[in-house]
Every structure is written in structure tokens, then in C-alpha cells.
Amino acid sequence: MAAHPAAMPTRRLLPLLCLLAVAATAAPVPVAPRDRLLQVDHIPAADQQPGHRFDYSDYNRVELLSLVRDQALLLATAAEAADLQRAGYQVTTLLQSADPLTLYRRALYGPTLRLPSVYHTYDQIVARADELVRLHPERIARVTIGETTQYHRPIYAYRVSRDARVPQPLPGVLFDGCHHADEVMGAEIVTALLEQLVLGYGRDPRVTGWVDHCEIYFVPVVNVDGHDIVTSGRDPRWRKNARDVNGDGVAGVFPEGVDVNRGYDFNWAMGGSDQPASDRYRGPHPFSEAENRAMRRLVELKPFVLSISYHSQGEVIYYPWAWNGLAAPDDALLKEIAGAMAARIRTMDGKGTYAVSPGGPSSQSYAWLYGRKGDFDFIIETGKGAHLFAPTEVPGLIAANLPGAQALLDRAAGPGLAVRVTDAASGRPLVAQVWLPRIENETVDRRATDPQFGCYWRLLRPGKYDLIISAAGHAPAVLPGIEVKPGEWTPLEVALKPESPAP
């Protein structure tokens, strides 16, 4: 049994008391502030490799803020700045300040401390899109899909088709941007593509073909509140939405908010973080954020065959998925489509094209859209080395990414199955489950026809496929060996017979 402290000999107790007294009175070691913004030019390629001094892999709110081409912007202490100079780097001090936000604004907005005008606010994007609606009402329509969590601003989608005034029984394609507030290139690319399709209809044969044969939706900005914090010049670091997470009645205080791209209901608990201060805070439960619910409502209005969600940075296209060593049921086709898009997008250095990679299976838009809804969704990480790019880079990034979107629109022409299911007695469309049992396993939900038209489009490679089609109150149809033709949609009309009532 251990001795009670009162029984310890005095000669043993005194040294211990002295040590405790010293520990209690010792002042904390001061940490030198990173109070200066440095620009480092002509960084050798070897120093930019993973694990080296200028490795820019992802978000770094502490030190290396951007690394575009061979120029870095970083926050440093006086000692770190001196060390870089001693090491022979070309270092310029752009600003010294005790206020971190001022340093971030100078680094990410530029000398004016405001977002360059080459980028657009949400109000400017909406004004331009609404102008297209007024000028071409037969080609583009605005759809309100929800509102933001904090400030209740409307979130708009724009429908482009051969007759946008009414929904069409056509395969759906979706382009969205700015799940993350500071990844503003997505809004610029989506808006540029929207304008290209509306104005190019009837003039460009490829554009006319896409619009005639697809129903194409655009959500330029998903995270409207967060995007406004960035584009208004308030805080270029902002990634999440503007939710007042701690409930103190003050919103827009960094790092509050919820990561909108970690809030989808597919393996939600596996994705993001449960810590509110984290950049990847996923919220208290799936679809806790109004922005996510707006996207869910859009998918309920219009099922999609293909979609792109634009992010920054990395020059890579992510597709669903790598899950405990297992690929998605449609892995070969997903990889093929991602590769076709990536091959069309040039990297910023002009030396190659985008990479492709399977992403994780959790809580993000592409996993949810594919796993729950059957949509082949891809995340495109645009550009390399920054989340807010210098204004000189923006036109080139838009121009480089448009061919990737066009490759996706080309693929929306098929091949695959265009299934329409009706009630054999009345001819009315049915909500029916369309299952390909040799492809789809239990990692994905069963796919279904849409309620308005009874239609379902399923991208497939040419070949023969078995289908099981079922609907409540109807006898199922088992269809073995359905042949999918190359290069186009193969139509399949299925009339399900109502089940006879039980005697």
C-alpha cells in the first residue's frame, strides 16, 4: 500500500514542493507571431514536391497560403523570414501587421484588399442570368430551389432546354459551383457555361444538340451566404456557410459555419468533422443545412444522369469511389467518363491535363448523388496552388475547364437505357424501381423512374443487361438480355400490369 503524503519524510517532500513551485510560477514560452506576409519567387520545382519546404497540398491557414506556378505567399515570423533569405530564396515582404485578417486579405485579395472585379458577386451572377431569362425565355428559366441557412437568401437554379418554360422528359445534366465559399472559380465556370449554351443555341451545332437532347440545370452558387462573405471583401478565408454555430447571435465570425459539402446523407458520420471549429465541420445531422436541402429539392424535381460540382484546387477529377478497397458498381464507366473530361482540361503550366482519382464514399455531393440517386457526379478541382486565384489567371482557368464540361455533355447522348414505365391499364407513368442486379450491389440505393414522366436514364456500355422493374401494386417485369446499342440511348418501354386484388 502506498504511504499517505503526510507520512512521507520531510527530506523527500521538500524537493517535490520546490519543483511544483517552480512549475507554477514559470511563465509560458512566448510564441513568435507570424506577423508578416512574404512573397517568395522562382521556387525550384524540387522544393514544391510533397514533403518538401513548399508543399502546397490543401488548406493551410497557418503558413503557406498559396503556391501558383513558382511563386508562394506565406505568413512568417521574423526568424522564418530571415531563414528563407539565408537559404537563398528570393523573398519580398509585402505587408507586416499584427492583425491576421489584414494579412490574409492582402495575400488572397491582392493590394486593394478587395476581391478583384474579374470575379462576380452573387447579385451580379443572378442579374446576368436573369437578363438571359428575359431575352431568351424559351431557352432558360429560373427555379428557386431553397434559401440559405443564416440570412435566408434565395438559392437559384437555371434550367436550359429546348423549351425551358416547362419540364422536359429528357436526360438531366447538372453543373454547380461554390459548395465552398472561397472556391469562387466554380461560380465563374458555371456562369460562363450557362451563357455559352443559351447564346450558342441555333448558332453552334454542338450547343444546339446538347440543349435539344438534354435538360441542363445550373446552380452557380450553392453556398450563397459564404460566397458573399468572400466576394464582399470581408474574409477571403471563409469556406463554410454563415450559420451562427455557437448561437451567440453574431454570424460571420471566423471560423463559424458548416461545411456544406460534408452535410449530405450518405455515410455522413464517416465524413468531415464533428468539431465546429474545423474547416470540415459537417453540422449536427445530415441535411442540417438549408443549402443541402435546396440541392436535395432540386434532385427531387429533376433526376440527373450526369453532373459536375466545381471546387478548387488540385487539377484532379474525383469520381465515386474507393470504399474499404472496393470500387463503385459502375467503376469502369465512371473512370472512363472522368478520363474523357480530364483529357480535355489543360493544367495551368500547359504541360499536361487533369488527373483522375476515386474519392471517398462519405458525406459529399458526389457520393450522395451517385449512391442515393444514381447520378454519375464528379468533383472537378480547378487550378493548382490556390483557392482564390490572381485575376490574370481567371480567364485561362475558365477557358481550360469549359472543354471538360463539353465532354460531359457529349456523354449525355448515351449509350445507355432510356426506360419509360407505365401502368398497362391506364397508360399513366409509374414511379418504378429499375434494378440491374448484375451491376448494382447493396452499396447503392435502388434507382427509380421520375414521377412526372415515368422515365429513367441509365448510362451503360454497349452490351446485354438483365433488368428487374417493379412498382407498388403491379406485377414486376423481369427482362433478361436487353441489348444496349453503341453511341445512343436505347429506348425501353415497359407497361406493368396491375396486380389483381386478393380474393
Strand, helix or coil for residue 231? helix
Distance, in Å, from the CA atom of 41 to the CA atom of 89, rounded to the nearest integer, reads: 7
Please tell me the pTM assigned to this model: 0.92
Closest CA to 420 of 496, 320, 312, 360: 496
Superfamily assignment of 122-411 in CATH? Zn peptidases (3.40.630.10)
- The DSSP result for 54-114, as a single string, is T---S--SSSEEEEETTEEEEEE-HHHHHHHHHTT-EEEEEEE-S-HHHHHHHHHH-TTSS
Superfamily assignment of 416-496 in CATH? Carboxypeptidase-like, regulatory domain (2.60.40.1120)
Sheet holding 447-448, edge to edge: 447-448, 433-435, 463-470, 477-484
Strand, helix or coil for residue 37? strand
Distance, in Å, from the CA atom of 452 to the CA atom of 429, rounded to the nearest integer, reads: 7
Q: Which pLDDT tens digits describe the chain residue by residue (503 residues)?
A: 334 333 333 334 344 334 444 444 555 666 899 999 999 999 999 999 988 889 987 667 789 999 999 999 999 999 999 999 999 999 999 999 999 999 999 999 999 999 999 999 999 999 999 999 999 999 999 999 999 999 999 999 999 999 999 999 999 999 999 999 999 999 999 999 999 999 999 999 999 999 999 999 999 999 999 999 999 999 999 999 999 999 999 999 999 999 999 999 999 999 999 999 999 999 999 999 999 999 999 999 999 999 999 999 999 999 999 999 899 999 999 999 999 999 999 999 999 999 999 999 999 999 999 999 999 999 999 999 999 999 999 999 999 999 999 999 999 999 999 999 999 999 999 999 999 999 999 999 999 999 999 999 999 999 999 999 999 999 999 999 999 999 999 999 999 999 987 66
Burial class of residue 72 (count of CB atoms within 10 Å of its CB; 0-12, 13-18, 19+): buried
Strand, helix or coil for residue 213? helix
